[in-house]
Chain A
Amino acid sequence: MNYSPWSQERAVALLATLREERGAVLIALQLMQREFGYVDKACVELIALTFNKSRADVHGVLTFYHDLRTTPPPPHEISICVAEACQSVGARELERDVKAKFPEESRVAYCFGNCALGPAAMVNGKIIGRATLEKIEAARQ
C-alpha cells in the first residue's frame, strides 16, 4: 500500500474537496486514512472545523468504526476472516499460525464474501481463497 507521509497542508486541501458533501465526517476520516494510511490525531480538529462539528462528534465517529486507525499501518496488512463460514474450514487455526508469524501485521475480519472458498484472507488489498500460511506469505512478497 502506498501512503503519503502525514502533511497538515495536504489534509486541509483534501478535506476542502468534501465541503459540498452532506454528512461528510465519515468519508472525511476515510479519505484521511486512504491518503496517509491512518487518521492522524490532528485530523479530528481539522474535520471538526471544516464541517462545523464538535471534536467530540468526530472522535465518536473515529472510534466507532473498526476500519479506522490512529497509528500508521504496518508495512504489510494481513486480514484473516474468522466468521462462521471460514471457521468451518479452519480459519481459527490459520489465524493462530498467521498471528504467530506476523503478529504486527495481522488482524481479523468478519467476511470478505468468499465463503465458498474459505478460509479467506486479504493481503495488501488482494483477496486470497483457500488461504494457507504459505499462500499468505507468498502474497505478502
Chain B
Amino acid sequence: MRIFIPGDSAAVSVGADEVASAFAELLPDIQIVRNGSRGALWLETLVEVELPTGRIAYGPVNLKDVQSLIDADFLHGGAHPLLLGKSDEIAWLASQDRVTFARVGIIDPLSLDDYRAHGGLIGLRKALVLEKISIIDEVAESGLRGRGGAGFPAGIKWRAVAQTISEEKYICCNADEGDSGTFADRMLIEGDPFTLIEGMTIAAIAVGATKGIVYIRSEYPYAISILQKAIDIARESDWLGARVLGTTNSFDIQIRVGAGSYVCGEETAMLESIEGKRGVVRSKPPLPAIEGLFGQPTVINNVLTLATVPMIMAQGAEAYKARGIGRSLGTQVFQLAGNIARGGIVECAFGISVDELVNTYGGGTLTGRPVRAVQIGGPLGAYFSTAQFDTSMDYESLIAAGGMLGHGGVVVFDDTVDLAVQAKFAMEFCAIESCGKCTPCRIGSTRGAETIDLIIKGVRIDENKKLLLDLCEVMTDGSLCAMGGLTPLPVKSAMINFPADFNGVRT
C-alpha cells in the first residue's frame, strides 16, 4: 500500500513536508510517495491512499489532522471530514483534459518505472525509428505553438534549425518562468521531469542537436533539485549520453540557473545569460534558430512546449489538433492565481471562457468579495474587467480583445484593487527589470511611473493621460523586446477598461 503526499513546492509551502514526516513517523510500514501536485492547489496538502479500487483523496490536510485521519482508518478510505472521495472523480479535476499534465500528480516524479508504466518514452522510441523530417512534420502538423507566450509554431522553428548546417546545435529549454501568476513550468518539472527530458531528446534528434540546456530560475530551488536528479537518472539508464536508448544518437542536458533577472526570460537575453554575460537582449535577425547559443543553431522552446511533444509523438498529431479552436490547437495549461478561492492548474482545450475559468473553476475570489479585474498573461498582459469575461481563452481572441495569452496565467483581483496603482507597478517593474538596451524601455518606464503617480495625485489629469498614452506608443514601437514593447499593455488596458481609476479622485 502506498500513500501520496505531494513534494511540489506549492504543497510544501502549506506544510506538506511536515505532514509527510508525521505520517512517516506514525506509519513506519507504509510507503510514502512524494508525488507532484494534481494542481488543485487549494486542497493542498492533498493526501491520497492507493486502494485496489483507485486512489482516495483527503484534503486539505494539516499537521493537526494527521492523527485523526489515522484514527478514522483513512488507509482503507475511512470517513473523515476531509474525505474528498476518489481522486479521479473530484469534479474540478475530472472535467479537465490533461495532456501535457497527464502524469503530474499521478506518478512518482523520479521513478522511471512509474514513468514508463504511464506511457513515458513511447514518443521518443517512435521518434528514434522515424526520419528526422517526419518528426518535424508531425510536430508541425499538430499545430503546437510556443507556450512561453509568443505562440510561434514549434514545427517551423525546428525546421529552421534542422535545415541550418552546423556541427554543433543546441536545444535550450526556457524554464525562466518569471511571469507572476504562472507556475505550470515549475509544477511540470517538479511533478513529471522525465516528460521534459523526453521532449528535449525528441527535439534534439529531430534537428540534429547534441547538447541541451535548461535555463531555470533561481527562485525555483525545488524544481532545480528534482530536475537535476531526473537528469542523473536518465544518464544512468542510458537515456541521456553518447548512445540515446542504445541508438547512435548522442544527447545530454545541463542545467543553468538564472540569477534573479526577469528579462532573461526573453529568449535572446536568456542566451546571453547562458553564455555568462549580462542579460541584454539581442537584435533579431539573426534568429536564434540560425545563430543562437554561442552563435550556433538553437531551438528555444518553453517547458510546456517541449513537454507536450512526447504526447504528440505517442498519440499522433491528429489526436492533439482535434482539440482547440481556430489556430489555437491542442490544450493550454491555464493557471488560476491571485485572489482566487480555488486556484491551480486547469488544463483544457483552447476556447474556454474567462468566466468559466475564474468563476466555475476558480469559484470567485478568496476574500469572498466581488471580482473586479483579472490580469491575463503575466506582468506584460492586459487587465480585463468582468464585462469581458465571455472572451475565449485562445491566442487570437485575446489579441482581438486587446490582450494576450502569454504563458496562460490568470491573476484575479477583488473590488479593492486600484488599477492606477497596478498600472504604475507595471511601469515600476519594467524600470527595475529593463536590461537597459532600448531607451524607451530604460527611461520611459521611470517616466511612466512618475506620470501615473501625478494622475493618481490628481495633477493635470487630462494632460498627463495624453502624455502617458504618447509614452506608451513610443515604448511599444521603440523597444526591441516584449519587456518595453508590452509594458504599455497592462497600462493602457487598465486606462481603457477601468477609466474611473484614472480620474484622480481617490476614495
Residue ranges of A at the interface with B (Cβ–Cβ < 8 Å): 22-30, 51, 57, 60-61, 64-68, 81, 83-89, 109-118, 120, 122, 125-130
Contact = CB atoms under 8 A, between A and B. Distances in A.
A29 B338 CA distance: 34
18 contacts: A26-B259, A26-B276, A28-B276, A61-B278, A65-B260, A66-B259, A84-B338, A84-B422, A84-B425, A85-B181, A88-B411, A88-B413, A113-B223, A115-B409, A116-B42, A126-B12, A127-B12, A129-B10
A88 B294 CA distance: 41
Contacts of B187: 113
B13 A115 contact: no
Nearest to B383: A84
B276 A25 contact: yes
B178 A67 contact: no
Interface string B264-286: 00000000011111111000000
Given A111-B179, A127-B13, A116 B41 contact: yes
Contact of A89 (B223, B258, B338): B338
Contacts of A57: 277
B338 A65 contact: no
B218 interface: yes
B420 to A, nearest CB: 14
A37 to B, nearest CB: 15
Given A25-B276, A84-B180, A111-B178, A66 B261 contact: yes
B180 A116 contact: no
Given A115-B343, A130-B14, A64 B279 contact: yes
A30 B183 contact: no
Contacts, number: 155
Contacts of B335: 115-116
B259 A116 contact: no
A26 B277 contact: yes
A65 B494 CA distance: 30
B212 to A, nearest CB: 14
B294 A116 contact: no
Contacts of A64: 261, 278-280, 435
Nearest to A79: B219
Given A64-B278, A67-B259, A117-B14, A84 B379 contact: yes
Given A64-B278, A113-B219, A23 B181 contact: no
A99 B65 CA distance: 33
Contact of A84 (B13, B336, B411): B411
A23 B273 CA distance: 9
A4 B178 CA distance: 30
B221 interface: yes
Nearest to A21: B276
Interface in B251-265: 256-262
Contacts of B367: 89
B279 A65 contact: yes
A116 B278 contact: no
Contacts of B44: 117
A128 B10 CA distance: 8
A127 B221 CA distance: 9
Contact of B186 (A113, A122, A130): A113
Contacts of A113: 9-10, 177, 182-183, 185-187, 219-220, 223
A116 B366 CA distance: 10
A126 B278 CA distance: 28
Contacts of B411: 84-85, 88, 115
Given A83-B180, A113-B183, A88 B278 contact: no
B277 A61 contact: yes
- Most A CB contacts (10 A, CB to CB) among B187, B259, B379, B433 go to B259
Contacts of B10: 113-114, 116-117, 129
A117 B16 CA distance: 13
Given A85-B337, A110-B262, 15 more contacts: A26-B277, A64-B278, A65-B279, A68-B260, A112-B9, A113-B9, A113-B10, A113-B186, A115-B182, A115-B338, A115-B343, A116-B42, A117-B343, A122-B219, A127-B12
B250 interface: no
A22 B409 CA distance: 34
Nearest to A126: B12
A61 B275 CA distance: 11
B222 interface: yes
A61 B272 CA distance: 11
Contact of B218 (A67, A89, A116, A118): A67
Given A65-B260, A116-B41, A110 B429 contact: yes
A15 B254 CA distance: 18
A114 B223 CA distance: 12
Contacts of B280: 64
A94 to B, nearest CB: 14
Contacts of A26: 259, 273, 276-277
Contacts of A122: 219
A114 B411 CA distance: 12
B180 A25 contact: no
Contacts of B192: none
Given A116-B42, A129-B10, A89 B339 contact: yes
